[in-house]
Amino acid sequence: MGITELGFYREVVKFISIGAAFGWHERNAGNISLWLLPEEVASASPCFDETRPPRKLARAVPEMDGEYVFTTATGSYFTDMDETSFCICRVCGGGSGYRVVWGAEKPTSELCGHLLSLAAFKRAGDGRRAVYHCHPADLVVLTNVLPLEDKSFTTALWSALTECPFVFPRGVGVVPFRIPGSPELADATAELIPERDAVIWAFHGLFASGTSIKDAFGVAHTVAKAAEIRLKIISSGREPLNAPSLEELEQTAGYFGKKLNTFD
């Protein structure tokens, strides 16, 4: 069975196709990474080529040494995907590098940041193994008009849509301007993501996490919807007459078995 017939491949294509239809992936914008489970590696391994030369990472990720990650290729257009849009990398050299074992020769330019975040998930043992990066327009607009601060940005999203407290109860982190694809952006994201469900890159987009690509996409979709609603409230030019209290948001999260991060 070829890689393109496997379940994880089909799920990734399904959800990034939806994201592209939402307008989140202009040109070659956006990327994903999925840390493969042992059974996924076993099903894909007959297609692997372990003889390709290794490449260095800008930041070492020793926790991920030997792990396999399915990711998008640099320059891929999500509106026109095929197997050349993806690759599978094995982290090697004690975590200092990676080897492409299947697919496109060059993984996403955000690979280092993805691996640093996946390493944080592995240390935490919280079940997360996927990251989904996209460019929802309304969210990018909000980074121009809201304080670039975790608590206030999160509260603005939570109070816009009562689904938010149980979909991303850890809240969002906010990274001020960093050059896209840079080690500095990777470092800043990896510092925030262990305690957040998603990280917002100012003037750029969203980096969402989850236990699967479906889950990470769901976080991204909910954040984007809340951003759309918050922007409409701001654009009305009126002060909101009504908004849920922090206590009500905590009750909502608790009803669904989640604990809200109150940033205390």
Tell me the catalytic residues: 110
Instruction: Tell me the residue length of the chain.
Output: 264
Half-sphere exposure of residue 4: CA atoms within 13 angstroms, side-chain side: 7
Tell me whether residue 72 is exposed, middle or buried, using C-beta atoms within 10 angstroms of its C-beta: 0 to 12, 13 to 18, 19 or more.
Answer: buried
Q: Give start and end residues of each alpha helix (H) in the chain.
A: 7-21, 38-44, 111-124, 137-145, 150-158, 164-167, 183-192, 213-235, 246-255
CA 18 to chain centre: 15
CB 173 within 8 A of CB 193: yes
CB 61 within 8 A of CB 29: no
Report helix, strand or coil for 177.
coil
Q: What is the DSSP letter of 155?
A: H
Radius of gyration of the chain (CA): 18
CB 89 within 8 A of CB 71: yes
By DSSP bridging, strand 172-175 and strand 198-201 are parallel
